[in-house]
Amino acid sequence: MTVIHIFSSTNGSGLHAFTDDAEGSRLPVRHGPWKHTSRVPAGRDLPHGIARRAVEAAIAAHGFQMWRPQKTTA
């Protein structure tokens, strides 16, 4: 996989998604609308220590991988 695109849901749910589709057309409509926020070139680490290999497998199987940042406690 060459580039992974990162999207954020703008519905207030806090969801984010990875996909190889720059338009986000494979992302679930019910969790959108989606906003493209960044892209990660091939061979680069994904944010927040998320395993790129696992994300690539999910994209190959389902077209996307959703995630939500963990809340930190103070």
pLDDT (tens digit per residue) in 18-41: 999 999 999 999 999 999 999 999
- Tell me how crowded residue 58 is: count the other CB atoms within 10 A of its CB: 16
Between the alpha carbon of residue 18 and those of residues 12, 59, 73, 74, the distances in Å are: 18, 8, 26, 28
**pLDDT score recorded for residue 1:** 64
pLDDT per residue over 50-62, tens digit each?
999 999 999 999 9
Structural contact between residues 18 and 65, judged by C-beta atoms closer than 8 angstroms: yes
- Which 3 state secondary structure label does DSSP give 53? helix
- Mean pLDDT of all residues belonging to the chain: 92
pTM, rounded to two decimals:
0.89
**pLDDT score recorded for residue 73:** 66
Q: Is the pLDDT of residue 74 over 70?
A: no
